Amino acid sequence: MTHRVNPSVTRYTLWKNQRRRWVQWALAPIVILVIALGWKYPYLGYTVPVVMILGMIGGIFRGRYVCGNLCPRGGFFDRIMPLASRVQAIPVILRNRVFRWLVFAALMGVMVWRASLDPANPEHWGRVFWLMCVVTTLIGVVLAFFFHPRTWCTFCPIGTVQAAVGGHRGQLRLNAATCRTCHLCEKVCPMNLPILTHQATGVVNEPDCLRCSECVLACPVQSLTWPE
C-alpha cells in the first residue's frame, strides 16, 4: 500500500530511510561470508567484536540506532529473512528484562570461557567469535521463520545493552490528535513494538526502538515525528 507523503515533513526522512536500506543490503552479506568462511579464516570472526563495540558505544548516544541501521545481522534479518518469515507476533517472554539479562550473562560467560582455553592464540579467539556468530544467527533464523524477522533482536545481548544505556534518548513523538489508530506504524515496525499504546503521553517510550523511521513513513497523516 502506498500513502501520500508530505514532502515538507518527510523528504529528509525518506532519504535517510532509503539510505538505510541500501546500507543494510550492503552489510547483510557480511553475515553469510563470516559464517561460511570463518571456520577456515578465523580472523573473519573479529567482525563480531567490532560490531559489538560499535553497538555499545553507539548505544550511549543513540540507543539502538546501530542495531537498526549499521548491524550486518540486523540488515540480514530486515532484508533477507522476511522472504521466509511467517511474520507472527514476537513472544512476550523474549522481551522480559530478566530473561534478556540472563541471556546476556550466559552468552558472555560462554564466550569468555571458550576464549580462556587458549588465551594467547588470536586464531582461537577468532574461532570463538565465529562460533558465537554461527550459533546465535542460527537461533535467530529459526525464530525469524516461526515468528518475526527480528525476533532475535528482542533479546540480543548487545541490543539489550544499547537499550539500557541509551534507549531513552531521542524517542519518537506521537501526535494523538491526528493519529487514526490504523496500526500501520506497528505493522511495519521491525521490532513489532506497540507504538499506539503511547498515545496518552505523546512519547513512544520504547527503548528497543531502532530509529529506522519505517513507522514514520508508513503513517498516512504524519502523526509520528522525531524530536528536533
Q: Summarize pLDDT for 67-83 with one digit per residue, the tens.
A: 999 999 999 999 999 99
Please give the single-letter amino acid code of residue 182.
Answer: C
Distance CA 57, CA 171 (A): 18
- The answer to whether residue 146 sits within a structural domain is yes
With a cut of 70, list the residues of the chain below it in pLDDT: 1-10
Distance CA 193, CA 64 (A): 13
Q: What is the pLDDT of residue 16?
A: 82
The alpha-carbon radius of gyration of the chain (Å, integer) is 18
- The answer to whether residue 142 sits within a structural domain is yes
Number of domains into which the chain is organized: 1
- The answer to whether residue 88 sits within a structural domain is yes
Distance CA 168, CA 62 (A): 9
Q: What is the pLDDT of residue 2?
A: 42
Grid cell, residue 181, equals: 489508530
Write phi, then psi, for 221 (nearest 5 degrees): -125, 15
Range of the domain at 144: 7-166
Q: What is the pTM of this model?
A: 0.90
Distance CA 60, CA 168 (A): 10
- The answer to whether residue 47 sits within a structural domain is yes
- The answer to whether residue 51 sits within a structural domain is yes
- The answer to whether residue 183 sits within a structural domain is no
- The answer to whether residue 53 sits within a structural domain is yes
For the segment 21-37, what is each residue's pLDDT rounded down to a tens digit?
Answer: 999 999 999 999 999 99
- The answer to whether residue 199 sits within a structural domain is no
Q: What is the pLDDT of residue 1?
A: 38
